Chains A and B, each alone.
Chain A
Amino acid sequence: MENFLLKNIDNPNSADIAEYEQAGGYKNLSKALGIKPKDVLDEVKASGLRGRGGAGFPTGMKWTFATADPKFPKYLMCNADEGEPGTFKDRPILEKNPHLLIEGMAISGYALGAEYGHIYLRGEYPEAGDILNSAINQANEKNYLGENILGKGIKFKLSVHMGAGAYICGEETALIESIEGKKGQPRNKPPFPVNVGAWGMPTIVNNVETLSNVPYIIEIGGENYAKIGSSECPGPKLFSVSGCVNKPGVYELPMGTTLQDIIYNHAGGMRNGKKLKAVIPGGISTPVLPADAIDCAMDFVAMPKAGSMLGSGAVIVMDEDVCMVKVTYRALKFFEHESCGKCVPCREGTDWLRKILERIENGKGTQGDIELLSDVAGIMSGKTFCPLGDGAAGVVMGMIKHFRSEFEEHIKEGKCTF
């Protein structure tokens, strides 16, 4: 399959508008503006595109809810708060192919009747911020954005909003709170952002990769797009592979490519001839899979059946030398740090889990600690305000399910056995 999302990124000037136009860029915007907004929406619906941020919600359905709400103005937010550890898939788009995202947002804004867009960019990507800002200026000068896009009287104004290092702001209602200048704590739902979002208005929050797929859908048509990859969640997907492989990096592959194929054929297999032990398939919030479970299709439907989730498609590969207790402990340190403090099960639960894991890793674990971990994780599951706490609990339960013996050994030996 030819790359679309990562097209042209090896060109050192790929972020420049002239290069993007040269490669056929902004033609899809012009094509989209030639048909009715409703027709653009229908193409997206027909494509079967599902949100690439992790939840996999059908994009066409989200857009339909937002357009059905009679309130104006509507806001289009691009979620570029790529914070899920292991994930670096949006970064090449933001830094190397920013005009693809801008074109995608301009088309989406037209389909949605949204005249204002904001890119919520994580604070850890200052370079991407500069690149996006100059790309937006270029697009404004060429009337691909602004008050009168391509002379058709259509308005879409776009700006970049820098986050400041809070993982939770990747959750869409927390993102909205944050852009409104508040602490990034998730809101109660309903009402959903498509009805009551930023500044009380209908707001559509879509991931960078999701919005960057829109020009492609316009180019080849929704029906053709739906034939790529898995039938229930089609399209190209970016996989960011890290850890103990020979060729870590971002790979654009059809949705549904197997984990086995990603690790051994695309990422060059295991580093230093080591044996594969475990894979975190979709970013740190997704449950771990042992080496013998990697013959599974990476998509939103197949992964839950295999015992994990597609998440952001961030594949973290671990070899036989990696201590699973240590990985779990580091993951929980992360969740404890990033818990927003709004709900008790998450705030207290992540703290407890981290403490227990810390003592096991440091050789101070006691009999009953594994049961205690399971107990705390079980109490958290399904009872937290947003998916952060659920994710943390799932990580611990997955690790104990597949690597219980390592936890037992740490406790028995009174030290880290790696």
Chain B
Amino acid sequence: MAVRFELIMFNETVINEINGIRKKYPDRRSALLPSLYIAQREFGWLSLKAMSCVAKALNLPEADVRGTASFYSMFKHNPVGRNVIQLCTNVSCMILGAEKLVDFLKSKYGVHPNGTSEDGRFSLVIMECIGACGTAPAMLVNTDFHDELSESRIEEILEKYK
């Protein structure tokens, strides 16, 4: 396997973007969540180095950045696949069969909750209610929203994500 060395740092455009966000708040720490989102967008997940970039950009202690980042479930602390499936299994989705869909994703795509398929195509995250209970079961793929899911609909939807 080839080893890829990536330079983990924010480019100037990103730094400007973060500086723009800082202006929306009375202090720099309040720009932390939006900046972590930016780091995740830039690097795919929040490695220690990625969080260190955020700490530098906002002039915050690294421990503070890591502490906050670890609290929120939408920040990823491990590499993820090319596409992230976020499937809800909370009560309204469960009643309408969401758990069977988890099994389907396992058998058809080889992706387990909190895991990534071997081909790196999908990661699966089990969600706690994504506010689509009226059209359950539902999922987000990356930032796209899909509802009224069935096995065949999932197959059809996931075709678009390579």
Contact = CB atoms under 8 A, between A and B. Distances in A.
A122 B131 contact: yes
B54 to A, nearest CB: 10
A242 B136 contact: yes
A240 B92 CA distance: 11
A317 B32 CA distance: 39
B100 to A, nearest CB: 13
Contacts of A334: 90, 128-129
Interface stretch (A20-28, A84-92, A351-359, A386-394): A84-92
Contacts of B132: 88
B101 interface: no
Interface stretch (B2-10, B65-73, B116-124): B65-73
Contacts of B130: 124
A167 B75 CA distance: 14
B24 A86 contact: no
B129 A86 contact: yes
Contacts of B60: 181
A88 B131 contact: yes
17 contacts: A82-B131, A83-B129, A83-B131, A85-B90, A86-B92, A124-B86, A124-B131, A161-B34, A164-B36, A165-B74, A166-B71, A179-B33, A181-B31, A183-B68, A184-B71, A242-B133, A284-B90
A242 B72 contact: no
Contact of B133 (A86, A127, A161, A184): A86
| Residues of A in contact with B, size category | 35 or more
A322 B86 CA distance: 24
B70 to A, nearest CB: 8
Interface residues of B, number: 41
B95 A126 contact: no
B135 interface: yes
Nearest to B129: A85
Contacts of B26: 199
Contacts of A183: 67-68, 71
Given A161-B33, A164-B37, A183-B68, A250 B134 contact: yes
B127 interface: yes
A318 B26 CA distance: 47
Max chain B C-beta neighbours (<10 A), residue from A82, A91, A244, A330: A330
A319 to B, nearest CB: 8
Interface in B12-68: 24-27, 29-34, 36-37, 60, 67-68
Max chain B C-beta neighbours (<10 A), residue from A88, A124, A127, A331: A124
A388 B26 CA distance: 30
A87 B27 contact: no
